[in-house]
Amino acid sequence: MMKRVLLYPNINRDQNLALTQEVVAMLTDCGVEAVVCPLYTANSSWAIPQTLSVSTLDDELDRADMIITFGGDGTILRAARAAAGLPIPILGVNMGSKGFMAELEQGDIDLIRRVVAGDYTINRRMMLDVEIVRGGNAVYRDFALNDVVVTGLTKVVNLTLFGDGQVITSFSGDGVIVATPTGSTAYSMAAGGPIVEPSTANIIITPVCAHVLAAKSFVLASDRRISVELGAVKANPAIMTVDGGAYRNLLTGDVVNVCKSGKETLLVHLANRSFYKKVSEKLGERF
């Protein structure tokens, strides 16, 4: 039985936490404790209502039955990173532009009553482990729900991609995206990569503006170990980002290793829209 839900609003999206407060009242009416844990941003111009008691996500995770996010996919990504490896499902309410990962739109919040009643399923989303190896030593480790991106900051970079130690391709270009199926509808899709059903387990490799005709996307089995080796970059710096977060500088000869993680993200699914319908709606196309 659901007892305690964390509400995780992006206060730049949910102005004055108006929608969050509606859901607080709804959950309280259903006998569920609602704890508001706002996603603060430095440039926010919206104040937290003084009548609202707030906490932080990290402080409340150990007693949470579910997280409900209010914002775009970036808000869900932040919640997923916080809850990675924990049996806490995430329900996204889209207040952004695309919102591929969100299950509900703003006008759907009454469906949260169904969630409280247990009328939902869980989608298990694959994640990736990533490390930067420099001089034979791992100097950085992280994990991703969407993607790992290696790019040049100003000009092209020279990259060699390996799968289980075998060369996949080498090219010069703007960079490469290594994505999960969940991340296939993000940067990977914009760079020309395939849309992959998010409930599957695959690793998608998509070159970005490669200067060679043979550099195409690859969809690989989830048990492959992907390595991206950085060739000579001269004075042009290269970077790695994970789920669009802060970048890490890369040096010539660095290797970025990516593989399926033991962690998963649990997303709430209400079966009111299929993946195909969501893609059609979000991309503005009719199939």
CB-based burial label for 274 (10 Å; 0-12, 13-18, 19+): exposed
Q: Residue 175 in contact with residue 155, Cβ under 8 Å?
A: no
Q: Residue 183 in contact with residue 144, Cβ under 8 Å?
A: yes
How far is the C-alpha of 94 from the C-alpha of 176, rounded, in Å?
28
Q: Which residues are catalytic?
A: 73
Report residue 184: phi and psi, to 5°. Answer: -65, -25
The token pair that represents 54 in the structure block: 């707030």
How far is the C-alpha of 85 from the C-alpha of 262, rounded, in Å?
8
Place of tokens 């319908």: 277
How far is the C-alpha of 105 from the C-alpha of 114, rounded, in Å?
15
How far is the C-alpha of 252 from the C-alpha of 91, rounded, in Å?
41
